[in-house]
């Protein structure tokens, strides 16, 4: 997978999209993140948002398609982050920025 440039805000948003708004994203959470956990959460969210399930969910396929695309993009961002984190390359400055922030956690706002 190609390495994507990602900001800390995009990283937090990707975590919220894949794991849900109730997850508290922290440095510890990001350090613990593994491809298998991301994949499991992605599959659950993909099932919940796949446009082929629109009729069964009582939703419009176009709305679900947009949600599904966002889930897929979030999945790609998180996998890219984990791969580069494990390689110790591209995201070292982002990861260091996250470590030096005064507020070490992010809680998604309730919508």
The more confidently predicted of residues 74 and 84 is 74
Rounded to whole angstroms, how far apart are CA atoms 39 and 97? 26
Neighbours of 26 (CB within 10 A): 16
Mean pLDDT of 56-69: 92
Answer for the pair 11, 94: CB distance below 8 angstroms, yes or no. Answer: yes
Rounded to whole angstroms, how far apart are CA atoms 13 and 8? 9
Q: What pLDDT score does 111 carry? A: 45
* Whether the model pTM is above 0.75: yes
Confidence of residue 92 (pLDDT cuts 50, 70, 90): low
Q: What pLDDT score does 73 carry? A: 96
Of 30, 18, 16, 38, which is closest to residue 99 (Cα–Cα)? 30
């Amino acid at each position: 997978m190609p390495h994507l440039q990602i900001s800390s805000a995009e990283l937090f948003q990707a975590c919220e999209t894949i794991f849900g708004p109730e997850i508290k994203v922290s440095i510890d959470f990001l350090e613990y993140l593994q491809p298998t956990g991301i994949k499991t959460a992605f599959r659950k969210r993909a099932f919940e948002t796949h446009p082929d399930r629109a009729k069964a969910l009582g939703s419009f396929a176009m709305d679900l398609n947009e949600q599904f695309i966002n889930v897929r993009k979030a999945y790609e961002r998180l996998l890219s982050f984990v791969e580069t984190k494990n390689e110790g390359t591209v995201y070292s400055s982002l990861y260091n920025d996250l470590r030096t922030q005064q507020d070490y956690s992010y809680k998604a706002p309730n919508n």
